[in-house]
Amino acid sequence: MSKNQSTPATSALFSPAVLGSVALSNRIVMAPLTRSRAAPGNVPQALNARYYAQRASAGVIISEATQITPQGQGYPKTPGIHSQEQIAGWQGVTQAVHARGGKIFLQLWHVGRISHPLTLADGGLPVAPSALQPAGEIYTEQGMKPFVTPRALETHEIPALVEDFRRAAANAKAAGFDGVEIHAANGYLIDQFLRDGTNQRNDGYGGSIANRARLLREVTEAVLTVWEPGRVGVRLSPVNPFNDIVDSAPQATFEAVTEQLNAYRLAYLHVVEDRSTKFDFQRLRQIFNGAYIANGDYDHDSAIAAVDGERADFIAFGKLFIANPDLPARLRRDGPYNAPRSDSFYAGGAEGYDDYPALETAGAEA
C-alpha cells in the first residue's frame, strides 16, 4: 500500500458530511430501488418500514421511486405519495428510519410512457412528450405485455402535471421525509422530455435543449416552493438506455441541463454513471455547484477511490444495499457480503426483502 493510499479507517467515505443542509453520518447513500412491496392502494406498510429501518446506517436513504399521481404509475405494487393513506404509510417508514438515527429522502416519480392501461387506475393511455411507442414489454398484473403507444401531453396539461409534483413534494414533507429527489432519469417522464429520441415536440417544451429541459426546471421550481434548496436533489442518467431511451448528443444535453440546475443551488446531483462509455461524467461534477452523488456498480475499492480522489462527494449503492442491510459496516471491513437474490427483487412479501442477515446474525454463511 502506498503511503498516500486511503484505508477504510481514514477514507472520507466513512466520515460525517453535510449534504445540502442535511448532516449525515457518512457518505454512503442507499440508491432508490423499486421492490414492488406496497400494500393495496399503493400504500407503504409495516414490511416497508422494517426494510428501510434495517438500512438506516446509510448516510442517507433515497426511497424507492414513488408515483406523484395515479397517472404516473408504471408497475404494480409500487408506492404513491398522492393519497392520505399513502402519506400515513410513509410516516411509518420515516419514523422507523429516524428512530434508528437515519435520514431518508423521497424520490418523486412519474413514469410517463413506461406504463400500460392495465396498470393505470383509469385504464387510459400512458402520457409522454410525444406519441412514440417504446420497444419491448412491461410487467402488469396480467403478466408481460407489449408497450402501447402513449398519448402526447397537450401543452395546456403541463401546468397541472407540475402541480402534481408540487403537491407530492408537500405530501412528502407531511410524511416526515428529510428531503426529496426529483427523478429525471432512467427513461421516465422527465427524462423523456430531456432526450431528443423521445421528445419530438414543436412547442415550448421541445426542440432546443433549453426547451426540452423546461419541464425539469418548472418541476424544480415548484418543488422549491415547498422545500428549501438544501433538501432537494435531482437524478440524471445521461447514457443509460433503459426503457428504450436515447439522445443524439448526451454530453451537450446533460452539460447544459446541469448548468441550468445550478440556478437553484440544489443539495445534490445524483448521476447514474456507465464508466464503460465515453461520456465524461467528471464534466457534470465540475459544472454542478452542489454535491455530486455517483451511482454505477461501485464497490469497496472504487467507492473509496472516487471519494478520496474527489471524483464524487457521495457514492450510492443499489444491489449491495438490497442484500446487505448493514452495508456501511461491511464496507468498512470490506465484507463479508451477502449475495443479492435477483429472483426475489420484485417478488412481493418478506422473502428476499427484509430477511437478509446483518453481520451479527449472519454467521459463517455471510
Residue 188 bears catalytic tag: yes
151: part of which helix (H) or strand (E)?
strand 151-152
Burial of residue 365 (number of CB atoms within 10 Å: 0-12, 13-18, 19+): exposed
Which candidate, 233, 236, 192, 198, places its Cα nearest to that of 215? 192
Residue 301 neighbours by CB distance under 10 Å: 9
Taking CA atoms, 35 is separated from 16, 94, 315, 326, 333, in Å, by 29, 17, 21, 18, 28
Residue 15 to residue 170: CA distance in whole angstroms: 31
In the set 52, 188, 268, 353, the catalytic residue is 188
Residue 176 near residue 94 (C-beta atoms within 8 A): yes
Residue 79 to residue 98: CA distance in whole angstroms: 20
The CA-based diameter of the chain, rounded to the nearest angstrom, is 63
Q: Strand, coil or helix: what is 316?
A: strand
Residue 202 to residue 113: CA distance in whole angstroms: 19
179-183 vs 232-236, strand pairing mode: parallel
What are the backbone angles phi and psi of residue 38, rounded to the nearest 5°? -75, 150
Residue 126 to residue 115: CA distance in whole angstroms: 6
Residue matched to cell numbers 412528450: 129
Residue 352 near residue 342 (C-beta atoms within 8 A): no
Residue 105 to residue 180: CA distance in whole angstroms: 5
97: part of which helix (H) or strand (E)?
helix 84-99
Provide the annotated active-site residues: 188
